[in-house]
Amino acid sequence: MKKPKLSPSLMCIDFAKIEQTLRIFEENGIDYLHIDIMDGEFVPNYALGINFCDQIRKLTKIPLDIHLMINRPDLKLDCFNIQPNEFVSVHWESTPHVQRTLAAIRAEGAKAMLAINPATPTEVIKYLLQDIDGILVMTVNPGFAGQPLVPAMLQKIRDTRNLLEGTGHTDVEIEVDGNVSFENAKLMREAGATMFVGGSSSIFFTQLPLSSNIQKMNAIIGK
């Protein structure tokens, strides 16, 4: 199984402190920066944008973990200036051409991730195991920060890890995204998750300093 990685969700960032926050991320060994892109159709919200990705790339060397919550990402990948060391997640529910979209991400030298909504069975990856570097298991319904975990998702993470182990794909990441709180992260790690999207309920938890939240999460996920 891959070593654990922490990916703070930048839609939760305090925009007045972006540079300061990125420096703290660098000092604390953050692995990736989770960038939620929303089109107001696939999900009923708008979040970060294409220019935001380019701006962040100018401010830090921490690679991006781009989460495309948009319809027909296959028609729009070129907009995102995908870089070789980045993760890019596309939703199984967002295009009839999933395999082709994953291959297009890999053609850019990036890591191809298949995102699945809570109601989507993990078995949809069965014929895509050669095409994915990871599966992003949405642990809330996508679109908004601050939502509660969908309880059945812990079993879904276990089922996903069992499916990957059972087919010899132990190196495929399981990324979890949504209410990855300090308490839930422990359960998710035990269930087999390897990449953790830290949002309002952990990394950006306002009751503690940012560096303390990061160190606390690193300890919980086994970094």
Which active-site residues does the annotation give?
36, 177
Residues contacting residue 16 through CB under 8 Å, at least 6 positions apart: none
Residue, CB closest to ligand DX5: 199
Query: Which of Zn ion, ligand DX5, none sits in contact with 146, Cβ below 5 to 8 A by type?
Result: ligand DX5
CB–CB of 74/95 below 8 Å?
yes
The reply to whether 161 sits near ligand DX5 by the rule CB under 6 A is no
- How far is Cα 156 from Cα 111, in angstroms, rounded to an integer? 22
| Of the candidate residues 201, 214, 220, 221, the single one contacting ligand DX5 (CB under 6 A) | 201
Measured from the CB atom, is 9 or 95 closer to Zn ion? 9
**In the range 169-198, which residues lie near ligand DX5 by CB under 6 A?**
177-180, 197
- How far is Cα 161 from Cα 169, in angstroms, rounded to an integer? 9
Exposure string over 97-134, b if 16+ CB within 10 A, otherwise e: ebeebbebbeebebbbbbbbbbebebeebeeeeebbbb
Q: Candidates 57-65, 66-74, 125-133, 186-194 — which segment interacts with Zn ion by CB under 5 A?
A: 66-74
Q: What is the per-residue binding string for ligand DX5 in 120-159, x denoting contact by CB under 6 A?
A: --------------------x-xxxxxx------------
